[in-house]
Amino acid sequence: MTGASHPDVAVELSVVIPAYNEEDNLVPLLDQLMPVLSSLGRSYEVLLVDDGSTDHTAAVMTRLQEQYPSVRVIRHRGNHGLSAALDTGFKNVRGTIVASLDADLQNDPADLPLLLSKLDEADVAIGWRHERNDPFVKRMSSKIANGIRNRVTHEQIHDTGCTLKVYRREYLDKLKMFNGLHRFLPTLLKMEGARVLQVKVRHHPRLHGEAKYHLTNRLLGPFLDLFAVRWMQSRHLSPQWDEIPRTGDTLQTTDC
């Protein structure tokens, strides 16, 4: 089944793909993704979000939109980062289930059915790249950052940086995104009551284009974001309350 192209028609699954200067990766990505989506037996759409690319990414997206009726294209007027691109995609989806994956071919679309199947027992299923195909420095910096992040936020998330995730849309609708907070999506969603499950997924080496994150932009900004999230955790409202009944009524107990 293909996703409806009309903007007012609801679909079951929306796939959000943020991209910045990924002109060589988009065609092979959709060549892999479309058969997977067609095999699911669900209506679907694919949102390609161009985060102000300076190469031919926008032109490639336009051609893909013409080729596939289920593809929609949104383009930022400038480069605003991964958090902004994901947020734009999340705000424009029509599906009741939302998936996200990177445009760089390192996430494997063939893992989507596995993640979707986990929504029977969770509200969010996040990819865990347990065998990373990245340079040593990138792997080690991610391992150290994840360790510090878990220590401060009291979490046990193995891989916060994997974009491959699936979500029940109602939890995404509760989020207020800020720059850099894509690294903390599991924690933020848990704060909103979502059941989060980690799932081992495949990871491929980058073949085309350049990595957008490196040692310098993984340090100061994420470090400050970490303490912002910890502050939000400490101030998050989650009271338990009881409505006091009139005589003869049934007591109602609710966890907010």
SS3 annotation, the chain = CCCCCCCCCCEEEEEEEEECCCCCCHHHHHHHHHHHHHCCCCCEEEEEEECCCCCCHHHHHHHHHHHCCCEEEEECCCCCCHHHHHHHHHHHCCEEEEEECCCCCCECHHHHHHHHHHHHCCCEEEEECCCCCCCHHHHHHHHHHHHHHHHHHCCCCCCCCCCCEEEEHHHHCCCCCCCCHHHHHHHHHHHCCCCEEEEECCECCCCCCCCCCCCHHHCHHHHHHHHHHHHHHHHCCCCEEEECCCCCCCCEEEEC
Domains of the chain: 11-136+156-209 (3.90.550.10)
- Per-residue pLDDT in tens (0 to 9) along the chain, 256 residues: 444 445 566 899 999 999 999 999 999 999 999 999 999 999 999 999 999 999 999 999 999 999 999 999 999 999 999 999 999 999 999 999 999 999 999 999 999 999 999 999 999 999 987 766 556 556 555 666 666 666 666 677 767 778 999 999 999 998 877 776 777 788 888 888 899 999 999 978 777 766 655 555 555 556 666 666 666 666 665 666 677 788 766 655 555 5
Residue 205 is predicted with a pLDDT of: 77
Residue 147 is predicted with a pLDDT of: 61
Residue 59 is predicted with a pLDDT of: 97
